[in-house]
Amino acid sequence: MKTKIFAHRGSKGTRPENTLISFQAAIDAGADGIETDVQLSKDGKLIIMHDEKIDRTTNLTGRVTDLTLAELKKADAGVKFSDEYRGEQIPTLEEVIELLKRNNFKGTFNLELKTNHIEYQGIEELVNEQMRQLPADIHLLYSSFNPNSIRRMQKINPEAEFASLFQFKIKESRLLAKNHLITSLHPDVTWLRERHGLFWPKLLIRPWTVNSTKNMIYCFKKKYDAIFTDYPAKALEVRKNI
């Protein structure tokens, strides 16, 4: 079985992250999976954004939680990456699902519950409701750095797959695995390489963020289940030669 290639925030290396054009580029490249991050706006809408603030990736300023969907839609999420992508908006989770459907995407949709800094009240229920629109032939994978969020989501939808994200605190992930709340681990690739790999029977390993050719080859040779990369098109080329 080949290591799958999951597009991190879409094709983050070549398009503005977490935008519809970024997800489209990842699908067009042939990525096996799409990863993205969800947060809650002031008026309770599910917003696709990595940072708690919109400052780094858009031309406006403020926290997602303090802005309404209408206010977030005024932000330009493309221009800071390149003038070529001026006018690109911050998408909602619903819009991303629509994009996957339009493209007849059949891979994995990995939604990271971005609750590690702000524990958005009720986000898991809202996400679960929205995910009813996801076609059954798309594999749904939830992940989070926040074990409480994984526990809450697992209760709501035990049918989905769950992964624990971690950088240093592997203890929390071990506990989730022991309690059968997760079936996969998503570690930082640098952390992983410093420890000469990770062997954990029965759990699927998917390192992030694997951008260099060297790290890609390492993960492909280790036969990890998948990698997260900002460069899905490049990773597909590297994988061809393994």
Residue from 32, 37, 88, 230 in contact with Ca ion (CB under 5 A):
37
Type and span of the H or E element at 127: helix 123-130
- The full length of the chain comes to 242
Q: Does 12 bind ligand G3P (CB under 6 A)?
A: no
Subset of 30-89 contacting ligand G3P (CB under 6 A)? 35, 37, 50
Whole-angstrom Cα Rg for the chain: 17
Site map 194..223 versus ligand G3P, x via CB under 6 A: --------------x---------------
Q: Does 225 bind Ca ion (CB under 5 A)?
A: no
- Cis, peptide link before residue 209, omega less than 30° from 0: yes
Q: Which of residues 18 and 130 has its CB atom nearest to ligand G3P in the complex?
A: 18
- Active site annotation includes 196: no
**What tokens appear for 111 in the block?**
């939604």
Stretch that binds Ca ion, among 32-40, 52-60, 68-76, 83-91 (CB under 5 A): 32-40
**Rounded-to-integer distance, Cα 34 and Cα 44, Å:** 24
**What tokens appear for 141 in the block?**
């994978």
Q: Does 166 bind ligand G3P (CB under 6 A)?
A: no
**What tokens appear for 77 in the block?**
């999420």
Report yes or no: 4 and 224 within 8 Å, Cβ to Cβ. no
Residues binding ligand G3P (CB under 6 A): 8, 35, 37, 50, 112, 143, 165, 186, 208, 228
Catalytic residues: 8, 50
Residues binding Ca ion (CB under 5 A): 37, 112
